[in-house]
Amino acid sequence: MAADPYRTNSMDPSLLQKFLACPVCAGSVEQNASSYRCANCARDYPIRFGIPDFRLAPDPYISIADEVSKIERLNIEGKSFVDLVRAYYSITPENPPALHTRYMASMDAAIGRGAGILSKMRSRFPLSGQETLLDVGCGTGGMTIAGTRTFETVIGADVALRWLVMGKQRIRESGVNAILVCANAEHLPFRSEMFDCAAADAVVEHVADSRLMRDEVIRILKPGGAWFFVTNNRYSILPEPHVRIWGFGLLPRNVMERVAWKFRKTPYKARLHSRKQLHALFDSVGEVMLPYYETGELGPQNESIRLAWEKLRGVALIRRLAGAVVPQYFVAGMRSARS
């Protein structure tokens, strides 16, 4: 009988094995038919839908049991990536249709957006290696797919198993080789000093502990390895990107979810940072920058806005005035070349 393509991953398991480590004790892990087991602490990590699940905590939006049940309801066999995304939102009434449309558009643009992020990282850190890339918070694999154009080995990690299941089909349809792992960004299941580069698009604001995520990403990089994060600004002049509410970031954090439920009928767990908070988090290890975009990176409908911003950000006064309210920041750095 042929193997179920949804129960296998798209890269040689022996290659993945050399990267993996227990996220609890850093011990080596061994694969069996249905899980990975830590040889040191004997903790088991299941393989679900062909994806290793090393999570120590669930996605804040859904329990693991409910997520597995929801994936099973998708009836994934035979569905395309687009079919899977539409099927998922059809059984997710807690998000309004207007937000569904926006989220799907964001997924659709993720390969191009990811290519732009990786291009910036390569330009900024040209001496970093091009063999291994970790896409942190990879979602449905847009930047993971983009990374295969440059890097020999690409691994995507995300806390949301449902997005990874869809991402597997997207990778298959793209005709590239990459592997997906379910994990918490604050507890990455990888050995230290294994990756040449790591990138994350809109992930810093979705983790429980941004400082721990920062440290974990640096830990898994080789000496001289580069990292590049894109993160949304809490005090952006534009509507909050997840719920599309003007001035949302000005609210106290303890009322944000209530407002999201009231006006958008959706949960809200993100913790966007301000420029000041990002500087406090990253100034010791990297640089917080105003955003800059390449031709076509924001899509043809926003090209005139991109061109205007590229002109304006060259003016010192504009940089000072707009610096606190830009929609996004870029944060980047390089692990010390000293082992």
Residue 262 corresponds to which tokens in the numbers above?
Answer: 């009231």
Residue 74 lies in a domain: yes
Q: Identify the CATH number of the domain in which residue 24 sits.
A: 3.40.50.150
Residue 63 lies in a domain: yes
Question: Which residues constitute the domain of residue 138?
Answer: 20-233+273-334
* Total number of domains in the chain: 1
Q: Which tens digit of pLDDT belongs to each residue from 34-91?
A: 999 999 999 999 999 999 999 999 999 999 999 999 999 999 889 999 999 999 988 8
Say what the pTM is: 0.92
CA 87 to centroid of chain Cα atoms = 22
Contacts of 167 (CB under 8 A, 6+ apart): 138, 139, 140, 141, 144, 156, 158, 180
Residue 244 corresponds to which tokens in the numbers above?
Answer: 């599309």
Q: Residues 169, 148: contact at Cβ < 8 Å? A: no
Residue 117 lies in a domain: yes
Place of tokens 């983790």: 207
The C-alpha atoms of residue 192 and residue 221 are separated, in whole angstroms, by 7
β partners of residue 333: 227
Q: Which tens digit of pLDDT belongs to each residue from 216-274?
A: 999 999 999 999 999 999 999 999 999 999 999 999 999 999 999 999 988 999 999 99
